Structure 1
Amino acid sequence: MLAIAPSFALRYARGADDLAAVQRLRYEVFAAELGAAGPGICHVAQREADAFDPFASHLMLEDLAGDRPHLAGVYRIMDRTQAAAAGGFSSAAEFDLGPLIDSGRPLLELGRSCLRPAYRGGRAMHVLWAGLAAHIRTTGAEVLFGAASFAGTDPDALSGPLQMLMADHLAPSELRTRAWGPGAVRVTPAGQGDRKAALRATPPLIKAYLRIGGVVGQDAYVDRHFGTTDVCMILDVTTLPPQVAAQYGRHGDLGR
């Protein structure tokens, strides 16, 4: 366990009880709060789960204040070896990951990130990212990727920020994924639109990735089960500015 803030600690899920706690938090956020539906939602057990969970690592952010640890947030992590055991990466259902896979570089898929409402807008996400940085140092991962979501399933209503992403933050060709399948929608890069308005309409997590050099794959995917429109977010950690690497690298290593 790695304690990196006054009441916060990070660890990996261990065993069925931890995984159940992770899935219950995801249910609270994705289903109860945001209205996600579909085969992964079990209202009886109040869990959000899928076939990839048993193969992935689950990073748990716990608040140690009070009589017992309280689960504040989670991140699901999957590398090439885990994906091979699971039959592929989960985001391959929405995006053609061929350029990433063919690159031969160490990959890390990030997904199912969520925080309880009380922890949003504060230090909690920074702490989770510090845990990811420790995981990256331990495993040698170079390219992070995963689906990043806008609320809503009307891509026309999201045309401003989506077009801005395609115009200003498109991944280089050697790492550029593309949305595919029944939910894929083409996004044309914007001309001289209102960039400030587009950025304001972009979710905070996507903006956070953009600030440290994140880019996106081509086009978007409408996930009607989750009620979101997704882009593939990609971050080459070998190109991080030194000050960013230092910021997330000063907390030491995270033990399993």
Structure 2
Amino acid sequence: MTAPASSLHVRLARDDRDLRAAQALRYRVFIEELGGSGPMVDHDARLERDAFDPYFDHLLLVDSWRDPDAGDHVVGACRLLPDTRLAEAGQFYCDDEFDLTALRRSGRRLLEMGRSCVDPAHRGGFGMLQIWQGLAEYALAREVDILFGAASFHSPDPRDWAQPLGWLHHHHLAPEGLRTCARQAPQPAVLPGDALDRKQALMAMPSLIKAYLRLGGMVGQGVFVDHAFCTTDICIILDTAALSRGARALAQRAEQAR
């Protein structure tokens, strides 16, 4: 049964119990549902985790109807690394997949977001809007200018995603001053603009990426095939001022529809 909106709230992880619940959700989504893996995945405990987790803040969508002691109270999660904590982490997670030189040289305050996932019962609903609002508030409180992170198409063959990848390249490519570049060669050919079908491209595009676009998101140059997670990754780049405006607008529309 889907929880009512009144039982859902967004907050940062407070303790190891919260973190393990987020990692358990990530396991259900990224490992069981999407078929991924990784060197630190704990299949016995059913936890998806990696070496970056201790350095990130973990923004959680919590269902207050569920028992935290049972470890299933987290129904949405994403992890956040502000550039003020970069010295501790050693690098951004995305550094392994994308050249972030343009972002670093921009002089803007950066926030990396990753491992975003939502329980199937709450996808596309009010809970997702709460996550966007929580993310906007987190960025505003830390005076972040640019949010970025890897977003995934769920197969490791970019040819499966030629239409949406072509659409993103031709219509949502970030300006040079903010444009990341994938660290993988050779890159797949990009469909020419006259070969694109807007409806087909958007239908094939993951809902999370479409949500970023509605909030003003842009993409970097190229793709990175993550064989461990069985995904084709792009780098999403978003001005946090647009995120704040977009999150408010989405929340207002949702409230009017209720």
**TM-score of the pair, normalised by structure 1:** 0.89
Q: CA deviation at 1:84?
A: 2.0
Q: Are positions 1:244 and 2:246 aligned together?
A: yes
Secondary structure (helix, strand or coil) at the match of 1:140 reads: coil
What is the match of residue 222 of structure 1? Answer: 225
Which structure's residues are more often helix, by fraction? 2
Q: Which structure's residues are more often strand, by fraction?
A: 1
- Which of 114, 117, 133 aligns to 1:114? It is 117
Report the counterpart of residue 188 of structure 1 in structure 2. Answer: 190
**Hey, what does 1:29 align to over in structure 2?**
29
The correspondence of residues 1-256 of structure 1 with structure 2, limited to 5 A, is: 5-65=5-65, 70-181=73-184, 185-188=187-190, 190-192=192-194, 193-238=196-241, 240=242, 244=246, 246-247=248-249
Q: Is the 8 A contact 2:217 2:237 kept in 1?
A: yes
Deviations 1:5-36 (A, max 9, x none): 51111111122222112111111111111111
- Does the 8 Å contact 2:136/2:240 carry over to 1? no
Deviation at 1:67, TM superposition (A): 6.2
Q: Give the C-alpha shift of residue 244 in structure 1.
A: 2.4
Letter of the aligned partner of 2:61 in structure 1?
Answer: L
Which residue pairs with 1:253 in the alignment?
A: none
Aligned-residue RMSD, C-alpha: 2.0
Worse-matched range after superposition: 76-85 or 139-148: 76-85
Paired residue total: 244
Cα pair 2:132 2:247 within 8 Å, conserved: no
User: How far apart, CA to CA, are the structure 2 residues paired with 1:120 and 1:76?
Assistant: 18
Q: How far off is 1:102 after superposition? A: 1.2
Deviations 1:108-133 (A, max 9, x none): 10100111111112111111011001
Q: Report the Cα offset of residue 55 of structure 1.
A: 0.6
Distance 1:47 1:243 in 2: 35
CA distance in 2 between counterparts of 1:158 and 1:236 reads 25
Identity %: 48
AA aligned to 1:97 is L
- 1:158 match: secondary structure: helix
Q: Distance in 2 between matches of 1:112 and 1:36?
A: 12
Tell me which stretches of 4 or more aligned residues in structure 1 moved more than 3 Å: 66-69, 245-250
Consecutive unaligned residues in structure 2, runs of 5 or more: 253-258
